[in-house]
Structures are given as structure tokens and as C-alpha cells.
Amino acid sequence: MHTGSCLCGGVEFELHGHLRDILVCHCTQCRKTSGHYWAATNVPRDKLVFTKHDTLRWYASSKSAERGFCQECGASLFYHVHDGDGISVAAGSIDGDTHCVTGEHWFTTMKGDYYGLPEGDKVRSQKQDIDVE
């Protein structure tokens, strides 16, 4: 089990089971919601247990997905595709070591011009079957 929270502690959660390796998304939506790029693991929806969710709010970021954030401190915490079984969880919101590695970079053709991609990381530049705009 792993625990995590937002910056102010208004949202606290537990993640049960295996964490997927980190997916780094460079799409415009992820860059705007995070201020850089979105780095997240993923668990089945039923493996995310909220122990505190007083300040958790959901934003419909597209027709097919929503993003969970803390309305108090503004931390971007979750991404969920409506018909998906899993939920993405911001890697930086997890307490302690995750024992995950960066698995892939997505939407790299949309990345900011002010940074480069790490050498050797797996890159998936083509558009995926998700609504990002």
C-alpha cells in the first residue's frame, strides 16, 4: 500500500496493489493543468481509497475524461477517462518511494519548447485514442 495527499492535506488517499510505471504526458491539457508535464502512475479505480476528500473537486476536462484536484491548494492529483477501469495518480502526490520508473513519454510533439526529453526514455509521439483538446 502507498499513501498520498495534496499539498494542504485536504485530500488524502491510499493506493492498494501494484503501481504502473510512470507515464509522462506532454499534451497541452496536461501541461496547462500541471504547469509543466503530467507524470502519473495508474491503479484500478477500486484500488484508490480516499481517507480524506474534503477539498477534492472534479473538472470535466473533455467529453471523455475528468481531472481531480484540491480546491484549497490547487494540487492536480487525478486523471480519469470515463469509460476506463483505471485512474491516473500524480506521481509527486505519493508519499515516500514509489519504486516506479518512467515507462513512456506521450504526446511529445506537443511538448513545451523550453525543455528536452531525457535520453533513452521510450517516446510515443503519435496521438492516442483519448480526447486531449
CB atoms within 10 A of CB 94: 19
Specify the DSSP class assigned to residue 25.
E
Q: Is 0.85 surpassed by the pTM of this model?
A: yes
Cross-strand bridge partners of residue 13: 4, 50
Taking Cα atoms as reference points, which of 110, 58, 53 lies closest to residue 79?
58
- The CA-based diameter of the chain, rounded to the nearest angstrom, is 41
User: What is the Cα–Cα distance from 106 to 46, expressed in whole angstroms?
Assistant: 25
| CA separation for the pair 107, 50 (Å, rounded) | 30
So what's the pLDDT on residue 118?
Answer: 85
pLDDT along the chain (133 residues), means of 10: 98 97 94 95 97 98 96 98 95 96 91 89 60 45
Give domain limits for the chain.
Answer: 2-124
Please report the pLDDT score of residue 131 as a whole number: 45
Facing residues of 3 across strands? 14
Q: Determine the pLDDT at residue 126.
A: 52
Which listed CATH number (2.60.40.10, 2.40.420.20, 1.10.3720.10, 2.170.150.70) goes with 2-124?
A: 2.170.150.70
